[in-house]
Amino acid sequence: MKFVDQVRIEVKAGDGGRGCVSFLREKFVPRGGPDGGDGGDGGSVSFIVDEALSTLLDYRYLHHCKAKNGAPGLGKTKHGKNGESLVLRVPQGTLVYDDESDELLADLTVVGEPLLFLPGGQGGRGNARFKTSTNRAPRHAQPGIAGEVRSLRLELKLLADVGLVGLPNAGKSTLISSLSAAKPKVADYPFTTLVPNLGVVPYGGFKTMVLADIPGLIFGASEGQGLGTRFLRHVERTDLFLHLVDTSCMQEGDPFANFEMINNELKCYDDSLTGKPQIVVLTKIDVPEVRELVVPLTERFQSLGYSVFSVSAVTGEGLKELVTAVGNELDRLRED
């Protein structure tokens, strides 16, 4: 799979270079004395968000990331070269965890701002630094300080304004492909979507919103059933849910019961998700038997306080009204 949203890596800052033990020996300088230079500092490790990246694929097979060591000091009090720093580029929305303690160390959401993660080890001092009035010829220097090593787990949580949730084959991929330039795989069997897809949708003139197509959820998803919790975390950052309800023969069971089951899975995964606004979208209304159920289902959902829209991603019916309503709701949420 090209979509990689969780990796484990080991990062190490560069070691400081050792100090030099040296004595000046030049013609006409009979008492040259110590002239050992300091070692260079080791390279640091930093993270930076790169908006050109969308997955953690670069780290799938790169398990050890190490900055360069500082060079040792030289005679004539020459300072060793500092080690080259290592900058790890990650997609927006990456979380950095300590893999041993599971502590969250960083939440990388700001594009272009480097985050210093591990400073490099300090270079050791050369013997020229230890010359005193009572110790005119010091014969020792300091070793460089070793760079810190951390075992990390990187997790990606997509940043999107709107998350599309629902059962497999509810029409999420077809909807996002109709509203945006995204081209997810669409087929007439469950779990066609195996990875989240993002689509940018224009609305209200020059505004845009980002939709996240999350792989279909089933009963027990919060406990790992189906695609399980692997992709549930991608809905945590969204501001609004579009809950797609399919009443065609593709879905078994009562549509309203399916709707409640999905909401229960969201609640079991993270109780805070139930507080996010939801807009109910009845899909595939171009199918005759579906259209017959639109009115009673709409009334039932509206009685519970939900906004309801009926759409056909194939014919385009209802899409314009849906985009306008979602855009207005996002504007309202951002003002609050």
Residues 173 and 327: their CA atoms lie apart, in Å, by 19
Comparing CA positions, the residue from 159, 126, 129 lying closest to residue 143 is 126
Cβ distance 251 to 173 under 8 Å?
no
Residue at 174: amino acid letter: T
Q: Does residue 141 sit in the same domain as residue 166?
A: no
Q: Which domain holds residue 244?
A: 162-335
Residues 191 and 271 in one domain: yes
Please give the residue that has the higher pLDDT: either 82 or 246.
Answer: 82
Q: Do 6 and 93 contact (CB within 8 A), yes or no?
A: no
Q: Which CATH number belongs to the domain containing residue 302 in this structure?
A: 3.40.50.300
Specify the higher pLDDT residue, 233 or 85.
Answer: 85
Do residues 100 and 197 both lie within one domain? no
CATH of the domain at 85: 2.70.210.12
Which range, 18-32, 116-130, 282-296, is most confident? 116-130
Q: What percent of the chain has pLDDT over 70?
A: 87
Report how far apart, in Å, the C-alpha atoms of 307 and of each of 36, 160, 310 are. 76, 21, 10
Instruction: Note whether 134 and 252 are same-domain residues.
Output: no
Given 101, 131, 156, the domain boundary residue is 156
| Residue 222 reports pLDDT greater than 60 | no
What is the spatial distance between Cα 167 and Cα 13, in angstroms, rounded to a whole number? 46
> Are 111 and 172 members of one domain?
no
Q: Is residue 298 pLDDT above 80, yes or no?
A: yes
Q: Residues 31-69: pLDDT tens digits?
A: 788 999 999 999 999 999 998 887 888 898 889 999 999
- Do 56 and 137 fall into the same domain? yes
**Do 175 and 148 fall within a single domain?**
no
286 pLDDT more than 50: yes
As for how many domains the chain has, the answer is 2
In this structure, are residues 258 and 251 in contact, taking their beta carbons and an 8 Å threshold? yes
Q: Which residue has the higher pLDDT, 237 or 240?
A: 240
**226, pLDDT greater than 60:** no
CA distance to 292, 306, 311, per residue, from 314 (Å)? 18, 24, 9
pLDDT in the model for residue 104: 93
Q: Taking residues 262-275, report their average pLDDT.
A: 81
